[in-house]
Amino acid sequence: VPTVTAVIPSSVADALRDAVSTRGSSLDSVVTTALEQHFGTNRHRAYQYSTSAALVQGVASGGTRSRDLLAHGDFGLGTFEHLDGEMIVLEGQPYQALGDGTVKRREDEFRVPFAIVCRFLADDTFDVQSADSLDALELACDPHRESDNLFYALRVDGTFEHVHTRAVRRAADGITLLAAAEGQPEFHLNALDGTLVAIWSPRYSSSFSIPGYHFHFISSDRTKGGHVLGCSGNHLHVRLQVLTEYDVRLPESGTFLKKDLSGDTKAVLGKVE
């Protein structure tokens, strides 16, 4: 990842410092977002590391460096080494929702075995007056997706009556996703403000992505979160971004190179993701 040194006016430096602190984001992320918006680059690009099929087969050690991942996006979801929790990336900041129900804000450098990120910039905005289930929320979002053959990022903010989450607990090396997801801790959160971070992927993408909607949740106070199994809420504000460029980076070393990834992962992904 290149490093840029530039001389800028102190007024711009002040604004930059303010943006970093108010967004709870990193300097790298704020500067990259600003430059990308200025030059109009990566407006519809998603960046993914590794594949869902590899994750299903338990390829969850090592991975890309968090700093490299976050250079490609400020919004997204994924997992951690040894499936130790659910990743939520929001406003450039990665959070780790752990199996004990806590959420850790990660500011250190760590490895990411699987994640999808983008530079979030909404193409469409709408409100969902009421959704009494996750299915109802998905149905309300469906008409805003122009195609079943493109990818989408969705950000849903609001007060949730109920959010049912799961957070995978650290698994032994090489254990499959199905085995790891069995008997994982689930949480029922009531009446709280927060954000759903979602990626919608086409059906044809099941060998590398997770077809359909994939929601992760993080509360506004950043203390609760996880992979979403169900939710309900009123007056939800939805922002949607179309993703027409999809950059998949594959691990160049480790178990990814030897695993048999030829099987159909649709059934397992439907069950656990």
Rg of the chain over all Cα atoms, to the nearest angstrom: 18
Residue 227 in the binding site for Zn ion (CB under 5 A): yes
At closest approach, how far in Å is the CB of 256 from Zn ion? 20
At closest approach, how far in Å is the CB of 227 from Zn ion? 4
Residue 155 in the binding site for Zn ion (CB under 5 A): no
Segment near Zn ion (CB under 5 A), from 47-55, 59-67, 180-188, 221-229? 221-229
Q: Which is nearer to Zn ion, 45 or 227 (CB)?
A: 227
Fill in the per-residue mask, 102 to 141: x = in contact with Zn ion (CB under 5 A), - = not in contact: ----------------------------------------
Residue 53 identity (one-letter amino acid): A
At closest approach, how far in Å is the CB of 86 from Zn ion? 6
Q: Which is nearer to Zn ion, 30 or 168 (CB)?
A: 168
Q: Which is nearer to Zn ion, 85 or 233 (CB)?
A: 85
The residue with its CB nearest to Zn ion is 227
Q: Which is nearer to Zn ion, 43 or 111 (CB)?
A: 111
34-61: buried (b, 16+ CB within 10 Å) or exposed (e) per residue? eebeeeeebbbbbbbbbbbbbbbbbbbb
The tokens for 22 are 């108010």
Q: Which is nearer to Zn ion, 22 or 133 (CB)?
A: 133
Segment near Zn ion (CB under 5 A), from 20-28, 92-100, 222-230, 255-263? 222-230
Segment near Zn ion (CB under 5 A), from 12-20, 152-160, 223-231, 253-261? 223-231
Residue 164 in the binding site for Zn ion (CB under 5 A): no
At closest approach, how far in Å is the CB of 166 from Zn ion? 8
Q: Which residues bind Zn ion (CB under 5 A)?
A: 227
